[in-house]
Amino acid sequence: MNWYGRSLAGASLALAALLSAVVAPARAQDYPTRSITMIVPFAAGGPTDVIARIVTGHMAQTLGQSIIIENVVGAGGTTASARAARAANDGYTLITGHMGTHAASVPLYPNLAYHPEKSFEPVGLLAGTPILILARKDFPPKDLKEFVTYVKANAEKVNAAHAGVGSVSHVSCQLLNSVLGIEPVGVPFNGTGPAMNALVAGQVDYMCDQIVNAVPQINAGTIKAYAIATPERNPSLPNVPTTAEAGLPAFQAQAWNAIFAPKGTPAPIIAKLNAAAVKALDDETVRKRLLELGSVIPQPADRTPEALGTLVNNEIKKWTPVLKPAG
Ligand code: ASP
């Protein structure tokens, strides 16, 4: 190559470098320029779906683009999470994952097609969700003590609804069942939205579910709540005793729900999404709706992508020894 050719090649390289330097940040800066898909790994109407809809409704206003919820069901939320992990890392496909999909799934699925930490960028924590022990309205036990006696005596007959292996409802009832030393029949659904319908209809006996799905039904008297598995009662359900008050202090369970983006999503996009989520959590209407449903709104220090990354890491460490021996 002669001097002219070399300098031309050099110039075009410099131009390309300049263009990519100018274009890449400009793209992230303009983000989003079209609608965003938020994958919800369970059926519509369940806790993950409800939380995702409440928060993304506000985030869409901040971001100036609509956020379309896509319910992708199956395998306790892992089908959807695998799909989200494979999506383009451009900020236009996100997932609302939770303690099941992004922690408990690791020990439960040896061939999991994604890894919560290696396949995703944490965006932000949305809500903590205490777990309740719930039963169909006409389930014979009147309180938690009677429930414990009844399910132990009828362990072969009773069944427990859940949202698939690795879902929060599955994992938290596994914990309850191991505390009680029973192995009831599990009845899987595509989410605890449909599982709750079956509970209300009296088709299944009991369920461990996140509070946001339970408050409307408990208040309407369509199901029974034996206890909430947190140290304190929840203001949205002042009459529901804690598991400690009701005689089963060993059963403590609270889930969490959070937004994740595919690994490699540019940092400025993650920052924009996080800021929109944080703004939503500070909005009075959003807060009111989340609190009415019993959610625990994360404190500001717990809302950063880094804090969510740490939570996921700790939760995988916490659930792995608990769930691995059970298979
Ligand atoms: N999050 C629920 C669970 O893991 C399912 C759902 O949201 O429908 O059990």
Give the helix/strand (H/E) hosting 38: strand 36-40
Predicted pLDDT of residue 325: 62
Question: Which pTM was predicted?
Answer: 0.90
Decide if 14 is inside a domain: no
Number of structural domains the chain divides into = 2
Query: Does 58 sit in the ligand 1 pocket, CB within 6 Å?
Result: no
Q: Are residues 284 and 221 in the same domain?
A: no
User: How large is the average pLDDT for residues 59-83?
Assistant: 97
317 shares a domain with 259: yes
* 16 domain residue, yes or no: no
- Over the stretch 226-238, which tens digit does the pLDDT of each residue have? 999 999 999 999 9
Q: Examine residue 287 and state whether it is found in any structural domain, yes or no.
A: yes
For residue 123, give the nearest of 171, 50, 56 by alpha carbon: 56
CB 145 within 8 A of CB 243: no
Residues 68 and 125 reside in one and the same domain = yes
Could you tell me if 217 and 144 lie in one domain? yes
Burial pattern 236-249, b for ≥16 Cβ within 10 A else e, equals bbeebbbbbebebe
Q: What does the block give as tokens for 56?
A: 């993304």
Span from the CA of 15 to the centroid of ligand 1 (angstroms):
50
| Average pLDDT, rounded, for the chain | 92
**Which among 38, 39, 42, 131 is the best mutation to test ligand 1's pocket, defined by most ligand atoms within 8 Å of the CB?**
42
- Of 239, 224, 254, nearest to 100 (Cα)? 254
pLDDT in tens, 120-158: 999 999 999 999 999 999 999 999 999 999 999 998 899
Helix (H) and strand (E) counts in the chain: 11, 9
Does the beta carbon of 42 sit less than 6 angstroms from any atom of ligand 1? yes
Last residue of a domain, one of 228, 247, 269: 228
- What are the C-alpha distances in Å from 100 to residues 28, 48, 273? 31, 11, 22
168 CA closest ligand 1 atom index: 4
Place of tokens 């003590």: 145
Residue 46 sits in the same domain as residue 181: no
> Is the minimum distance from the CB of 47 to ligand 1 under 6 angstroms?
yes
Q: What is the pLDDT of residue 323?
A: 86
Contacts of 268 (CB under 8 A, 6+ apart): 25, 28, 29, 31
For residues 91 and 264, the answer to whether their CB atoms sit within 8 Å is no
- The radius of gyration of the chain from alpha carbons, rounded to an integer in Å, stands at 22
Task: Return the CATH number at 304.
Answer: 3.40.190.150
Q: How confident is the model at residue 1 (pLDDT cuts 50, 70, 90)?
A: very low
* pLDDT the model gives residue 167: 95
Largest CA distance in the chain: 91
In terms of DSSP H, where are the helices of 31-70?
Answer: 47-63
Over the stretch 17-41, which tens digit does the pLDDT of each residue have? Answer: 444 444 454 567 899 999 999 999 9
Does 69 lie in the same domain as 117? yes
Distance between CA atoms of 269 and 92, rounded to whole angstroms? 10
> Based on the domain organization, do 285 and 301 belong to the same domain?
yes
Give the range of the structural domain holding residue 184, as residue numbers without chain letter: 130-228
| C-beta 168 within 6 A of ligand 1 | yes
165 lines ligand 1 (CB under 6 A): no
Same domain for 186 and 112, yes or no, is: no
Are 108 and 150 contained in the same domain? Answer: no
Q: Are residues 167 and 209 in the same domain?
A: yes
Nearest CA to ligand 1 atom 8: 191
DSSP 223: E
For atom 1 of ligand 1, the residue with the nearest CA is 48
Distance 180 CA to ligand 1 centre (A): 23
In a shared domain, residues 120 and 48: yes
Q: Give residue for tokens 């199956």.
A: 74
**77 CA: nearest ligand 1 atom:** 4
